[in-house]
Amino acid sequence: MSDIILPDPPRGAAVIEATLDTLPLTPGVYRMLDAKGEALYVGKARALKKRVAAYIQVARLPERLRRMVAETAAMEIVTTHTEAEALLLEANLIKRLKPRYNILLRDDKSYPWLMLTEDHDFPQIAKHRGARTRKGSYWGPFASAWAVSQTVTAMQRVFLLRSCADTVFANRSRPCLLHQIRRCSAPCVGRIDRAGYAALVAQARAFLSGRQGAVQQELANEMEAAAAALEFERAAAIRDRIRALTHVQSTDVINPASLTDADVIAAWQAAGQTCVQVFFIRGGRNNGNRAFFPAQARGEEAAEVLAAFVGQFYDDKPPPPLLLLDRDLPEQALIEEALRLKAQAFGGRGRVEIAVPRRGEKHAVVAHAALNAREALERRLAESAGQARLLDGVAELFGLSARPERIEVYDNSHIMGSKPYGVMIVAGPEGFVKAAYRKFAIRGPIAPGDDFAMLREVLERRFGRALRENADPDAPPPGWPDFLLIDGGAGQLSAARAVLTELGVHDVKLVAIAKGPDRDAGREWFHLDERAPFQLPPRDPVLYFLQRLRDEAHRFAISTHRAGRAKALVTSELDEIPGIGPGRKRALLNHFGSARGVGQAGLHDLEAAPGISRTIARLIYAHFHPGTHIAGTA
Cα 331 from Cα 304, distance rounded (Å): 10
How far is C-alpha 219 from the chain's CA centre? 39
Q: Are residues 345 and 411 in the same domain?
A: no
Q: Is 308 left (phi over 0), alpha (psi -120 to 50) or beta?
A: alpha
Q: Is 12 left (phi over 0), alpha (psi -120 to 50) or beta?
A: left
Check the CA dihedral 300-306-309-311 and report its sign: negative
Asked if residue 394 is part of any domain, the answer here is: no
Q: Are residues 484 and 594 in the same domain?
A: no
Q: Are residues 34 and 119 in the same domain?
A: no
Per the structure, the count of domains in the chain is 5
Asked if residue 476 is part of any domain, the answer here is: yes
pLDDT at 7: 47
Q: Are residues 428 and 523 in the same domain?
A: yes
The boundaries of the domain holding residue 205 are 113-210
Cα 22 from Cα 18, distance rounded (Å): 8
Asked if residue 102 is part of any domain, the answer here is: no
pLDDT at 182: 84
Q: Are residues 56 and 34 in the same domain?
A: yes
Cα 163 from Cα 186, distance rounded (Å): 10
Asked if residue 185 is part of any domain, the answer here is: yes
pLDDT at 134: 86
pLDDT beneath 50, residues of the chain: 1-2, 5-7, 251-253, 569-570, 634
Q: Are residues 413 and 374 in the same domain?
A: no
> What is the β-pairing status of strands 353-355 and 322-325?
parallel
C-beta of residue 141 within 8 angstroms of C-beta of residue 113: yes
Q: Are residues 508 and 619 in the same domain?
A: no
pLDDT at 16: 93
- Cα-atom radius of gyration of the chain, to the nearest Å? 31
Check the CA dihedral 625-627-631-633 and report its sign: positive
Q: What angle do CA 85, 91, 93 make, to 5 degrees?
A: 100
Closest of 116, 112, 113 to residue 159, by C-alpha: 116
Domain end call among 38, 72, 97: 97
* Alpha carbon distances (Å) from 179 to 61, 162, 187, 191, 192: 67, 9, 10, 10, 11
> What is the β-pairing status of strands 418-428 and 438-441?
antiparallel
Asked if residue 402 is part of any domain, the answer here is: no
User: What pairs with residue 124 in β-bridges?
Assistant: 162
Q: Are residues 534 and 491 in the same domain?
A: yes
Q: Are residues 417 and 542 in the same domain?
A: yes
Cβ-defined contacts of 124-128 (< 8 Å, 24+): 124/161, 124/162, 124/163, 124/164, 124/165, 124/166, 124/169, 125/152, 125/155, 125/156, 125/161, 125/162, 125/163, 125/204, 126/152, 126/163, 127/152
CB atoms within 10 A of CB 282: 23
pLDDT at 634: 46
pLDDT at 2: 46
Cα 357 from Cα 352, distance rounded (Å): 15
pLDDT at 6: 41
pLDDT at 257: 63
Q: Are residues 203 and 276 in the same domain?
A: no
Closest of 346, 349, 334, 303 to residue 80, by C-alpha: 334
Domain end call among 210, 238, 271: 210
Cα 487 from Cα 477, distance rounded (Å): 24
Domain end call among 543, 567, 591: 567
Residues 498-512: tens digit of each pLDDT: 999 999 998 899 999
CA-CA-CA-CA dihedral for 189, 190, 196, 198, to nearest 10: 50
C-beta of residue 48 within 8 angstroms of C-beta of residue 23: yes
C-beta of residue 32 within 8 angstroms of C-beta of residue 41: yes
